[in-house]
Structure 1
Amino acid sequence: MRHRHQPRLDRVSEAPIQRRPRRSFDWSTAFIAVAVAAAAATVYLRDGQARFLEILVHDFYLFVDILPKVLAACIIAALVAVLMPREAVLRWVGAESGFLGIVIATLAGVICPGGPITIFPVAAAFIAVGADIGAAVAFITSWTLLGYARVLVWELPFFGIDFVTWRMIAAVPLPIVAGLLARYLAGVIAARTGPGA
């Protein structure tokens, strides 16, 4: 059985990584631009020019501080997408990985450190090399709800062991449920919009 499927994995590994075409301007960018313009005009008219410039300068320095981190995260994600063994990704968290793939992605989300600037590009890299959308959803949901760094650094000092224990117990099934639901919905949509639909 393993030898029969091996050629398919080899062909997949040699295929170029499929990336969604990106547009420099879309509806989300337009919405953000309108929201920024409206907020800027409101602050300028309500609080005056001095306050407006103060906020603008503060945000500029914030942008300068964040930009290197964003660039580094994007480069890391691109390198991960190239260096990651596609056969292993397809086997463990691919579309045919089944329930085990969701569980593996959930565990990966628990142990992965870093913030959104790191996690989201890595999740995108997983999808680019063939990870199942359900596994990607489980990974991000698990990191958001169960990530150990957030629990140790933030939750335990503020809420204590009892609250954190019950919250973790309640949250454990959620990444798995989210991953299975995302996989099911993606399959339904693909069946309705695919060839011959």
Structure 2
Amino acid sequence: MSFTRADVEIISREDGFRGFYRLDVLQLRHRLFDGGWGPVLRRELFVRHDAVCVLPYDPWLDQLVLIEQVRVGALEKSDSPWMLELVAGLIDTDEAPEQVAHREAQEEAGLTLLSLHPITRYFPSPGGSDERVYLYCALVDSRGAGGIHGLAEEGEDIRVSLWPRAEAITAVEDGRIDNAASIIALQWLQLHAERLRAEAGPQP
């Protein structure tokens, strides 16, 4: 049996909170695997813009560019809330995901993306959030990358650093890199790095 959105009945949807983010309170019921309809459930839905995450990879030097910034979600569950991450941003206008990728690479890391390679789209926390992430790997010329970046008007303080691919994979294995988008992208890169390097051609 295959279900669709038609197999969920939203009985009511009310405002729970409105700020930078949004929380909706839903009353709903859905069809059951063994037939019929289940009971009415109350669920809070964290409504977020979809996100774009990009792993900048230099195939000529076999190294990648990571950023580091403070993350409020890690304040109480990590020794340090400064997280090693991918370049990322929200789709909060009518921009396509690819446009967001190029814009955020400039703003957060001072990088020009030479080509974009889609990795996947996924829901990071579908039990309570509607956010979907568009995940990419991008080829870059990493020579000269580094320093502090970000938009001052948005309170961003972003440190950019270069990582040999092998060292970044080790950082995943030992837990220094512990956010989903970075882990997924780096695992993908391990599977595809040699192909990307072979196809890259001469360094621009």
Same fold (TM over 0.5): no
- Which structure: greater helix fraction? 1
- Which structure: greater strand fraction? 2
Q: Which has the larger radius of gyration?
A: 1
